[in-house]
Structure 1
Amino acid sequence: MDPRALPPRLVIDPSLPPEISVELRSTPHILRKARSGARMDTTKNPAVLFILPGFLAMLGLMTGMEGLLIAGMGVGLIVLIRWMAMDSTYRSTRRKLSLAQVHANYYVIPEDLDYPCQMLLRRAQNAVDAIMASRVHKDGLIDSIENQVSLPEEIWQIAQRLRRLSSMHSEHGKLVPRELPPGLEDAFKPYSSALDAAWTSLSRRVRHLEKYAKQVIKADRVYHAHRRLEALAAKTPEYQQLIADTVRDDLAHQRIRELADQAAHVRKLFEESILQARQAAGELIRSPLT
């Protein structure tokens, strides 16, 4: 499946403490429960589980039947072990649900967004993925530290604005009649225009991210060629000697100059692509959503 068609991933506020982020990220189903307003059932009485083993044990004592007494104690032990395991799971789930509810404003799940907003957020995430996976980023040829700080924050700012926009889109659709009475179109227009303006602004922001990613990918390709060329450059004397030994002098000088010119050209392309990637990053940082 085309990754561009996939729903966006969970987005968590990067300012949250790491231990909370890890906890939230590990239980997406709990986040969905919290968002839907689910509550843990506290009406169950664990004492009900022990009715049968207790009855068997009591009957065994009253009738003197050791078999029933042993059976009641055995069933009781099994029930106790299962209850302890279920209670531990219950308490863990309740704790995670409580954590998700307390931090409800610090994460955005795909279900928070309508389809257009989901696709826009996914585009932003894909752009950041391409930047972070690039060799020029990993090798520190662009501002890797700035990327690690600013790009997660950028995704978070886009995600929470898209969540708000999706909510207002839904509300707007419910409030505005499909067929407006004559003469009232202009009264509703400013509200629709406000939503359109917010969408346009966020779309432009994502395009800036994609522009930066394209420059990084371009730099990556040239960097890859540059590294291959450096490996060949170490063997330049061998190539020069081969040409000098096998080609007429005039032609040999020309081929040797071509080798040097080609190396210089690729290096220039590499330096220009790195500069363009840095400029694209600068444009992104100079106009933050924050």
Structure 2
Amino acid sequence: MSGQDVTVVVDPGVPEEVAWTLKSNAEQLARLRRGRPPEREPDDDRQPWGLVLMEATGLVALGLVFAAAGLFPLVVLTTGAILMLLLARALPAAKPQDEARAAERELFEQARWYDGRYYLREDFDAEALPLLARTQRAINSVLGSHVNAEGLLDNVRNFVMLPQQEWEIARLLAKLSSLRAEHNDLIAGGVAPEVAQAVRPLERALLTSEAAVVARVEALERYAGHVAEAERAYHARGQIEELRARLPRYEELVAESGADGFAVPEISGLADDADRLETALRRSVSSAHEAFRYLDG
């Protein structure tokens, strides 16, 4: 995952449906952030009542002429035309873009209401984006794993704690990005020697803080690595179990073909393989739990 693939990070305390909306509309949020509010409600483009009444009056007069001439079918048609004209004025024409405008206005309101509780790609500089990308990749790999879905890990705590870790890392990276930008602007034109001496502690503070965030990201990646090992053992164990289930058919074939002495020892080794994979899975899950406790502490 590159910095280009970083997704919107939302405070875990934001309601789930709002968080989903914010995460699904990164481009629109970026446009709103740049000062492009949603379009106003379009003006009512229905015909003015005065014009409608003039047309209706003309149709009424025409209907009276038809009635006087005894052309009653035409009178019925004229009456229907009058009703259609009035109904067309009373009901606004539906437009395909109305729904899109309403959705954008709702997004704009949510973005304003939850301002400060979500971060976009634009909130991170070139040094921060790869770190956030690594964070999201590690978290997604854990939450998307079968061992987590099967409850072999502490999936409840994963779904609570990992988004909190993502938010905290994103918050620190956004602050680092902002301070780095201010610092670079300050020294862009050069600094006097006495100012340079005062600047050094600030630069060390930035580097130290970044190192602390990197340590958090690496801890997440270690946890994700243990989960990946457990995932591999989990899938391999499943494949071995499928082979063991088919073992009687193979044994029957071997017995019927008279090849017992050659093949049976190798086939029987499936049981040993399954035991080894079960042990590897338990060991991998145990290691993941240990990494989780370190991450949580």
**Bin of the TM-score, shorter chain as denominator length:** 0.7 to 0.9
Q: What's 1:107 paired with?
A: 118
Q: What's 1:179 paired with?
A: 190
CA contact (8 A) 1:4 1:122 kept: yes
Q: What's 1:246 paired with?
A: 260
Q: 1:22 aligns with which of 10, 20, 23?
A: 20
Q: What's 2:43 paired with?
A: 46
Q: Say which SS state the counterpart of residue 191 (structure 2) adopts.
A: coil
Q: Judging changes above 3 Å, is the alpha-carbon distance between structure 1 residues 194 and 230 closer, same or farther for their aligned structure 2 residues?
A: same
Q: What's 2:169 paired with?
A: 158
Instruction: Output one character per residue of 1:234-271: Cα deviation in whole Å (capped at 9) or x when no partner.
Output: 455666785897228xx97x768855543332222221
- TM-score, normalization: structure 2? 0.74
Q: Distance in 1 between matches of 2:178 and 2:290?
A: 35
Are residues 1:170 and 2:181 paired? yes
Q: 2:109 aligns with which of 98, 101, 104?
A: 98
Q: Judging changes above 3 Å, is the alpha-carbon distance between structure 1 residues 183 and 228 closer, same or farther for their aligned structure 2 residues?
A: same
Q: Say which SS state the counterpart of residue 153 (structure 2) adopts.
A: coil
Q: 1:31 aligns with which of 25, 29, 32?
A: 29
- TM-score, normalization: structure 1? 0.76
Q: How many residues align?
A: 275
CA contact (8 A) 2:7 2:26 kept: no
Q: Say which SS state the counterpart of residue 193 (structure 2) adopts.
A: coil
Map 1:72-221 to 2 at 5 A.
81=92, 93-221=104-232
CA contact (8 A) 1:46 1:83 kept: no
CA contact (8 A) 1:112 1:163 kept: yes
Q: Distance in 1 between matches of 2:159 and 2:22?
A: 20
Deviates more, 1:233-242 or 1:101-110: 233-242
Identity of aligned residues (%): 29
Q: What's 1:233 paired with?
A: 244
Q: Judging changes above 3 Å, is the alpha-carbon distance between structure 1 residues 82 and 218 closer, same or farther for their aligned structure 2 residues?
A: same
Instruction: Output one character per residue of 1:55-111: Cα deviation in whole Å (capped at 9) or x when no partner.
Output: 9779989xxxx9xxx9xx98xx69x84698777765654443132112111111111
Which of 1 and 2 has greater Rg? Answer: 2
CA contact (8 A) 1:35 1:101 kept: no
Q: Say which SS state the counterpart of residue 127 (structure 1) adopts.
A: helix
CA contact (8 A) 1:33 1:97 kept: no
Are residues 1:283 and 2:294 paired? yes
Q: Distance in 1 between matches of 2:272 and 2:231?
A: 21
Q: Distance in 2 between matches of 1:88 and 1:236?
A: 60
1:247 maps to a residue whose letter is G
Shift of 1:191: 1.1
Q: Distance in 2 between matches of 1:225 and 1:41?
A: 55
Q: Judging changes above 3 Å, is the alpha-carbon distance between structure 1 residues 161 and 82 closer, same or farther for their aligned structure 2 residues?
A: farther
Shift of 1:32: 1.9
Q: Distance in 2 between matches of 1:36 and 1:283?
A: 40
Q: Distance in 2 between matches of 1:255 and 1:98?
A: 67
Q: Judging changes above 3 Å, is the alpha-carbon distance between structure 1 residues 83 and 261 closer, same or farther for their aligned structure 2 residues?
A: closer
Listed as ranges, the gaps of 5+ residues in structure 2 are 62-80
Listed as ranges, the gaps of 5+ residues in structure 1 are none
CA contact (8 A) 1:7 1:118 kept: no
